[in-house]
Structures are given as C-alpha cells and as structure tokens.
Amino acid sequence: MGKNENQMQKNQTVITEITDIGVNGEGIGKVDGYTLFIKDAVIGDQVEAKVTKARKNYGYARLMKILSPSPDRVNARCAFARQCGGCQIQEMSYEKQLEFKARKVRGNLERIGGFPPELLDRVMEPAVGMDQPFGYRNKAQFPFGTDKEGRPVTGFYAGRTHSIIANTDCALGVPVNREILEIILTYMEENHVPSYDEKTGTGVIRHALIRFGFTTKEIMVCLVINSRKLPYEERLVEKLRAIEGMTSISVSPNMEQTNVIMGSTFRVLWGKEYITDYIGSVKYQISPLSFYQVNPVQTEKLYSLALEYADLQGGESVWDLYCGIGTISLFLAQKAGQVYGVEIVPQAIIDARKNAQINGIENAEFFVGKAEEVLPDYYDRYKKEHGGERARADVIVVDPPRKGCDEALLETVVKMAPERVVYVSCDSATLARDMKYLCGNGYEVRKVRAVDMFPMTVHVETVVLLSHKSPDSVINVKVEFGEGDDKISLDAIAERAKKYQPKPKITYKMIQEYVEQKYGFKVHTAYIAEVKRSLGLTVYDAPNETEELKQPQKRPTKEKEEAITEALKYFEVI
C-alpha cells in the first residue's frame, strides 16, 4: 500500500479549525481528514500550526498563531500557563472546562465500558464545579534549581521537562506560598546554600513542600534536602516562624538520585509534626508524608456525594478500600454501623487510626495491606471460620489509584454482594473498565457524576453508584429429584454441571507463548488487548493497558491479528 496521500510532513504549516479536544487537553483539528493534536488550542479557534510529529493517520503540531479566537477562549490568569505543565486548559472558559470533563467521562463510559448513550442520558448528573476555580490548592511542592547567573530559583517544571520556570506566585495555590518561597530564596542567597543539581547529585535544597489548612489557617513548610542537616537552619526558622499561622517547620532528607520528591522520614525544626484541618465536621492531622486531598472545597463535595450514594441508615457494615488516611472512612463512620478501611501505606493507616481517635470515632477499623489481597483473604477466612457462610457487606466504597481495581478485588466484591458499590475514581478510563466488569456480574449503574477537583487541568474525579440488580418478579417452582417420570435425575444434573465448570483463567502470557511457539514471532500485550476489544471481549489485565486506552489505538499487523485470534480460539476465549 502506498503512502497516505493526506499524511502531513514534519515542519509543514497548516491552517485548521479546532473542533474537539483530546484527553490531555490538546485541541484537535483536521486537515483533509488528517487529525492533528495542537497544544494550547481551544475548540472554536481558527489556528495556524506547525507539524512537529507526523504519524500515518495523526500527528502533533505547535500552535503558531490564533487567526480567529474561539468565543470560549479566555485570557490566562498566569503568565506562564502555556509553558508550565501544571495548567493545560487555563485559556478555556471554566464553563467549557466542565463540559469537556463531563464529556471525557461519558466518552470513556461509552467507548471502554460499552454503556449505551440512552442509559448515560438517564444516570449522568451535571458536573460539580467550583465558584472560585483559582487558589484552591492546600498543598504545593516547589522544585529548586539554579539560573544562568548562578542564583537559586523555584517554580514549576515546564511541561514534560525538568527545566524550572521561575514563578513564586502560582494561580492555583494560596497567596502565602509566595511569601514563604521568597524567604527561602533570600535565605539561600544570604547563606550560600545551593539548590540541588539532579545531574551531578550535588547541592542541598531539592523541594519545598507547603501545606495550608483552609479551615484552621495553619501552615506547614517542609524542605526536602540532599543532606542530613540544613546549614544555618535556625536563620531560616526565625524568618518563617514569624508568618501568621506558621505551625510546623521541618526537613525531609532525600539523598537518593530519584524522581521521588519526599524522603522516607522528616525531622521537625520548629513547631508540631503536623497541621490540622477539617473536611466537613471531621478533623484530620496532616504530616509532611500524609496523603490528603489538595482541594478541600471540592473534597467535601466529593465525599458528601459518596456518603449520599452510600445511603447509610445507621446499622450498615461498610468496607472502604484504598482508604488513605481515612478521609472517606471517617465521613462514612458518622452514619454507618461499622466501617473497615484498607490501605497499603503503613503510615497512612497510622494516620487513619489517629484521626479516628481525635474525632472520637470508635466504629472504624483499619488494616494495612493491598486491597486486592486483604479483602479476598478476609472473604476466604470468614468462609472457613463460619462453616461455609459467605462474608457480606452492605456497602463497599472503592477509591483506587489511576490503574483502577485489581480483578481479584472485583471478584470478591461480587461474591460479597453488597447492596451498593460506590466507586470514586481519578481515571475515567479504568473506571469504565471496572464498571463494565461489575455490570456484567450482577450490578447496574444508578448514578454517575464528575467532580472537578482540579480546575484549569484535564484531570477529573468521578463518583458512581452501582446497585445490586433486583429481579423483576419471583416465581416458586417445586422440583422433585430422583428417577422416574416428572423427576430430575441427580446423575443428569451432575453431568450437566461438568459442562458448566468455570474455565481456567487465560492470561496474556499464555497467549503470547502460544503465538510465539506456533508462529515464531512475539506479540505485545497491547495488541492482544486491541484484538480482544475489537471482538467485544472484556479487556482487563494487560500490562500498561490504562495508558494504551488514553492514546490513539495501535493496530497489530494482519498476520499478528490472525495469530492472536487463533490463540483466543485455541484457549476457547471465543
């Protein structure tokens, strides 16, 4: 086959209208049917763009000139919005941002989850936005570096780089951040304390972590340093402690050559080990190493939705999986009979137990471990200890990381058959995949709502309510077992049961090994996932599948597609 006649060439300049927006916030335009992703373009813009990367059916281009601005284009509040990797869509009106995020969630539910549009019309509720979509972050981590003149600088990394854009006044952070950062920079210059250089591994100050309690107004500063001790630390403490609300000043040594920001420990220089803040009426202690939602205004709305969807009446048994420091667990415990929280990070569970104690909450119990291991182990142990009786929960809440829930966890959720499952998601692609599994195993979608936790960015949280399906009607049937007329043979039942024994799980590795042995070439898991998707099969545990879902789909060659299809037939998947 010859070259695609419409394919663009690198450095080619084109004029196009932006008609859609990609999952990462890029404007999407078409030139003679060829798709271009153009950063910083907004739907409705007429733009001139220069192609930077050209694939067969799509490419990427740099915005050169806005020929005719979209009615939804606004001036960015931050002068560095285009350079910085933090705000991808600050030049889009906030109303359109909410539309984009709701459409992003819906698109994934349709494309990946296979949910019909008419169902989504019925269950999707309007996205929950903010009245003031700036200055909402209670936490910021600022990297430090050195400019061309040898002076220390701090700010944020430019998109997809480790080059620091000097800026102490981020529009998404609280105003006091600027005062704190200026004090730190002055201290560094006056005392000749160098910034960390990640290329050489030398220097001292790597990052500054700043937390602010929106309700309590308490402030925390933690410097991440490439040493055990901070030079002249008392001079810095003297300046910082004078800021109204300053509560905790600490350092976290991190002498590893790594992209991980925080060290594993911290040492208090002045004040307390933590600050306190509230979500609703629940009080939380937050240390430098604690995970805590960065947008407290929207977090209260998010958790209130989760509590509403859980529909607790006072006596229910609730499991909160991926519970962190117990933020959702303690919200639920106010109305539940008993809450069990599971989290893999030991420090988070220590914080969760402490938060339960300071709030006087006695009906919340927390376990350290992987949710996909703790819940199945609990289910199996309960069954053994109770003569085969099945462990139950009235409500299960899951709030997993971006990769979503492990299949073993979802299998156990289905076995425990809670009346309601509340899914809080930070990635609607894996949410759609997991919802498809649950809805194929006895659940139905009742409500879906996007919550804008991160205005000016492409990220969106989603809360979903799934309920156990109820039968439309019930009939009573009398059955007699045995031999003879009008009776059902037990031998026949046993023979029939053999045909319906569950098949062993077919893994991607088994398919890869079969193809390599029979055809002599290797196939990537992403290709297996794509073939399964094209056949209407559930795509579940392919390594890196989450990332594949977000990118333009890669198709295997016809030869590899046929080989994968043959393997699926061999293993009786199709």
Q: Which residues are catalytic?
A: 426
Question: Residue 231, SS3?
Answer: coil
The one-letter amino acid at 454: F
Question: Residue 31, SS3?
Answer: strand
Number of C-beta neighbours around residue 52 at 10 A: 16
Task: Indicate the burial class of 295 (C-beta count within 10 angstroms; 0-12, 13-18, 19 or more).
Answer: buried
Residues 182 and 246 sit within 8 Å (Cβ to Cβ): no
Residues 6+ apart with CB under 8 A from 478: none
Find where tokens 């800026």 sit.
167
Q: Judging by DSSP bridges, how do beta strands 420-425 and 275-279 pair with one another?
A: unpaired
The one-letter amino acid at 570: Y
Residues 356 and 334 sit within 8 Å (Cβ to Cβ): no
List residues bridging with 154 in a β-sheet: 144
Residues 6+ apart with CB under 8 A from 35: 28, 29, 57, 58, 59
Cα separation, 253 vs 256, in Å, equals: 9
SS3 string of 96-144? HHHHHHHHHHHHHHHHCCCCCHHHHHHHEEEEECCCCCCCCCCEEEEEE
Please provide the DSSP assignment of 393-444 as one string. Answer: -SEEEE---TT---HHHHHHHHHH--SEEEEEES-HHHHHHHHHHHHTTTEE
Please provide the DSSP assignment of 5-29 as one string. Answer: TT---TT-EEEEEEEEE-TTS-EEE
Q: Maximum distance among all alpha carbons in the chain?
A: 100
Residues 6+ apart with CB under 8 A from 153: 144, 145, 146, 147, 164, 166, 185, 195
